[in-house]
Amino acid sequence: MPYTVRKVRGKPCFKVYNKKTKRVYSKCTSRENAEKQIKLLRAIEYNKDFVPRKATMSRRTRTMKLQTMKK
């Protein structure tokens, strides 16, 4: 799908939308984040094995989780 970045009129931000369906994916974001959003949308669409990186757990959270599992 053809994703596009456009500048929002009167504001220092950008929007990401699909040119065919006119669906908006990001309303007011920085240029860098808009480009990242497009990369993510294309990866999800074209790479069927794509899995976004999950937030890594902190060491404390991981140890607390392990302690609760042992009980």
pLDDT at residue 38 tops 60: yes
Domain count, the chain: 1
Q: How confident is the model at residue 27 (pLDDT cuts 50, 70, 90)?
A: very high
Residue 19 is given by DSSP the state T
Asked whether the beta carbons of 52 and 36 are under 8 A apart, the reply is no
Question: Residue 7's domain spans which residues?
Answer: 3-70
Against a cut of 0.75, is the pTM above it?
A: no
The pLDDT assigned to 28 comes to 94
The pLDDT assigned to 52 comes to 72
Q: Facing residues of 18 across strands? A: 3
